[in-house]
Amino acid sequence: MADNWIFDVLADLRRFALANDLQALAAQVQATVQVAEQELAARADGKPAPRTGQGGRAFPH
Nearer to a copy of itself, 2 or 61 (CB): 2
In 10 A of CB 58, how many CB atoms? Answer: 6
What DSSP designation does 47 have? S
Interface with a copy of itself (CB under 8 A)? 6, 9-10, 12-13, 16, 19-25, 28-29, 31-32, 35-36, 38-40, 43, 49-50, 52, 58
For residue 6, the minimal CB distance to a copy of itself (Å) is 6
Q: How far is the CB of 36 from a copy of itself (least distance, A)?
A: 5
d(CA 42, CA 24): 27
Q: At what angle do helices 23-44 and 4-19 cross, to 10 degrees?
A: 170
